[in-house]
Structure 1
Amino acid sequence: MERTYTTPHEREPIVKRWPQGPRSVPLARRALREALDDWGLRDLQDAASLVLSELLTNAVRHGRVPGREIETRFVSNPVGLRIEVHDASEHRPLMALPAPDAGGGWGLPLVDTLSEKWGVCDREGPGKLVWAELTAEPDSGHS
């Protein structure tokens, strides 16, 4: 039996697992864009795609644990979207502003700028989850 949803934030989270490689990032972005289309949250696509790219790239680069995959969860909520990236590494990301001429290190400051809030917390099982919440425009289907 197909479930009928009365509001966008009642939709089931979309949970996917990805190999620990850079090819997972564009595949996850595509899955996110499809979810946002389905949920009527197209206005969040650009910012959400960048946030997901940064969080998932960090997990691929710094959260590798042999034999483990990385999990993403996209959750529609009453005000917008929550993105979660789960990995099995205990290494927690720290945000620091890089030097102006640095070639990298801008990922978490970008996440901080684009999201309403973000953080890192323990998860069930080994490792951590890094999350970010983005707020939709009032006319994007969330009331």
Structure 2
Amino acid sequence: MSPSNQPYPTTAPADGVEWRLPRHPRTVGRTRTLFIEQAKAWQLPRDTAETATLLLSELVTNAVRHSRVPGRQIGARFQLLSATVLRVEVSDAGNGLPVLRRSAPDDESGRGLALVEALSRAWGSYRRPYSIGKTVWFELDVVGPKTE
């Protein structure tokens, strides 16, 4: 793997970490791995970490599929807003903001944001500064026993 394909951390507050990764299908798994390691370091409860991993996967998958801007990267930011709130953000260079839709039972895709809405305490999106893409985020309550 060439160095340009390696994820690299960017500046983030002391209570968080941010990564930039290539817009590639393998990025979904790589981002999950980065988050799982961070969750262990933060000793997040297992349920919180598993839910965050699922929702992170959905947002990164959407960024890979829909941002269709060649050469741009996907950003993933994990932040503890407090001892009881985890915030996860995924940024990409795509212009369109996500829209929650209701999928039919036989649809093969389109349920990612519905999962985010159902399982998070809050979620949303905003355009990034200078009109370059967007950020989609969710927050989870940090509750339960610590991970091992």
Match of 2:98 among 89, 93, 99: 93
Q: Which residue of 1 aligns with 2:62?
A: 58
Letter in 1 for 2:57: S
For the pair 1:127 / 2:143, whether they are aligned, the reply is: no
Matching of residues 1-143 of structure 1 within 5 Å: 11-43=14-46, 44-78=48-82, 79-125=84-130, 126-137=132-143, 140=146
Letter in 1 for 2:16: P
Partner secondary structure for residue 50 of structure 1: helix
Partner secondary structure for residue 129 of structure 2: coil
2 CA distance for matches of 1:21 and 1:98? Answer: 25
Percent identity of equivalent pairs: 42
Partner secondary structure for residue 133 of structure 1: strand
CA RMSD in angstroms comes to: 1.7
- What is the number of residues matched between the two proteins? 132
Q: Which runs of 5+ in 1 are unaligned?
A: 1-9
Q: Which runs of 5+ in 2 are unaligned?
A: 1-12
Letter in 1 for 2:51: A
Runs of 4+ in 1 over 4 A off after TM superposition: 138-141
Partner secondary structure for residue 97 of structure 1: coil
1:140 Cα deviation (Å)? 4.8
Letter in 2 for 1:83: V
Deviates more, 1:105-114 or 1:130-139: 130-139
2 CA distance for matches of 1:123 and 1:40? Answer: 30
Output one character per residue of 1:48-80: Cα deviation in whole Å (capped at 9) or x when no partner: 011000000000000121111011100012122
| TM-score, normalised via structure 1 length | 0.86
